[in-house]
Homo-oligomer: A and B are copies of this chain.
Amino acid sequence: MRLTGVLHGVGLGPGAPDLITLRAARLIEGAAVVAYPALAGGPSFARAIASDLIPAGAREIVMDVPMTVARGPAQAAYDRGAAEIAAELEAGRDVVCLCEGDPFFYGSFMYLFARLSPRFRVEVVPGVTSLTACAVRAGRPLVARNEALVVLPGPLADEALEARIGAAEAVVIMKVGRHLPRLRALLDRLGLMDRAVYVERASLPEELVLPLSEAPEVAPYFSMILVTKGADPWP
């Protein structure tokens, strides 16, 4: 009887290659098989972060994920990726799946985890999230002492956002992208513009940090708004 391999879901952090953890780096450097998502027909952000660590001879399983509003095409891509990964695991080989940020924090790794964890051993390595990477770039502590934090996806409707923004000292809005003009109008209406910072591609060479009032009209998917409403946190 042959032992099956282990699937490692490895968080890579927000984008700077040296924000990878020692554990993740060791796993990637020793990998015989790596897997990662890519924008269908385009580049893979995950692979780019880890590129210096991937061994030359490793097999690479690329999951070409279409960014469509309908979920069917993306799920079919994960079906195919899971089948390829399962074949490796069944052959006794470990697979290292590269995940932007943290696999369990808005990560697409959940789709592979759902498909494969019932049948195979899955180990997840947490990563630095864009939450704190953006706080660093904004130059202010995200939460302190007994402050509450709310993390909200930008695609939520205004009413859902407004109800939740009121309940915390710190608010992070993720996946801003094309929702930027609407989110800016909402925060302006709530009187929070002067506490809001826009961060795009935190930790990467092309990162952008601006007061929200000066943010560009067009935001990439990997952009975020931080609002710290608390009283001045300095003692």
Contacts and interface: CB of A to CB of B under 8 A. Distances in A.
Interface string A154-193: 0110001001100110000000000000000000000000
Interface in A80-125: 102-107, 109-111, 113-114, 124-125
The quantity of this chain's copies bound in the complex is: 2
Interface of A: 11, 13-14, 16-23, 25-26, 71, 75, 78, 102-107, 109-111, 113-114, 124-129, 131-133, 135-136, 140-153, 155-156, 160, 163-164, 167-168, 203, 233-235
A104 B140 CA distance: 7
Contact of A146 (B105, B133, B140, B153): B153
A137 to B, nearest CB: 9
A132 B11 contact: yes
Contact of A164 (B18, B25, B132, B148): B148
Residue in A103, A144, A152, A160 whose Cβ sees the most chain B Cβ within 10 Å: A144
B114 A233 contact: yes
